[in-house]
Copies of this chain bind each other. A is one copy, B any other.
């Protein structure tokens, strides 16, 4: 139930981030809806297609589609008020990427993948919805350009595998992984920490 709530909050946050990017591009109502949809389910769909876990999850459980449809309708009606929710949305989004990372890792383990592949799968689940969103809206994906985002997923994911080596229940390691992803992202945004530049200074 706890994880399910996180999942739905994450779906809502991802869908709204899709609505916001789509509206900035002045897409029509159908375009806004599709962009919101792929933002919310794109990462998980890619994950499920890569490991052969089909039909992909959102096709098997209507709750995702219904959540997204309701979110888009709400976001369009209250578009002028969305800015007041910015802080909540950022929090939902961060909860969402934490959970999506761990869900992706779990699916990788079920598919018999090695830890490194599981972390890759988790990171993809959390971040590729946004990559597809930006690509469809004709932008270079924002997570390729700034912010600690995928880095949080990767560090949290590897922490989970390290903690699993300790004599503690798997559920605690899972929860710790989740908290680490969320914590790194929150701290990075709060203290404006960015990845070090790889380009020589001019």
Residues on A close to B: CB < 8 A? 22-23, 25-32, 34-35, 45, 49-52, 54-56, 59-60, 62, 65-66, 76, 79-80, 108, 111, 113-114, 116-117, 120-121, 131, 135-141, 143-146, 149-151, 194-200
A-B contact pairs, 27 of them (CB 8 A): A22-B144, A23-B198, A23-B199, A25-B140, A25-B144, A27-B140, A27-B144, A28-B144, A28-B145, A28-B197, A29-B198, A31-B143, A49-B49, A50-B54, A50-B55, A50-B59, A52-B54, A52-B55, A55-B111, A55-B113, A59-B111, A59-B113, A59-B117, A59-B121, A60-B113, A136-B140, A138-B140
Instruction: Give me the 3 closest cross-chain CB pairs, A-B, nearest first.
Output: A31-B144, A52-B54, A27-B144
Distance between Cα atoms of A59 and B65 in the complex (Å): 29
Distance between Cα atoms of A76 and B117 in the complex (Å): 23
| Supplied contacts A29-B196, A34-B150, 12 more A-B pairs, CB within 8 Å | A27-B144, A27-B145, A30-B149, A31-B143, A32-B144, A34-B131, A45-B50, A50-B55, A52-B52, A135-B135, A135-B138, A138-B140
On whether the beta carbons of A50 and B51 are closer than 8 Å, the reply is: no
Distance between Cα atoms of A51 and B60 in the complex (Å): 10
Q: Which residues on B sit within 8 Å (CB–CB) of A23?
A: 198-199
Number of identical monomers bound together in the oligomeric complex:
3
Distance between Cα atoms of A200 and B79 in the complex (Å): 9
On whether the beta carbons of B140 and A144 are closer than 8 Å, the reply is: no
A202 to chain B minimum Cβ distance, whole angstroms, is 12
On whether the beta carbons of B140 and A137 are closer than 8 Å, the reply is: yes
Which of B28, B150, B199 meets A26, CB within 8 Å? B199
Distance between Cα atoms of A45 and B55 in the complex (Å): 14
Smallest CB gap from A52: residue in B: B54
Distance between Cα atoms of A200 and B80 in the complex (Å): 9
**Quick one: which of A62, A149, A200 has the most chain B CB within 10 A?**
A62
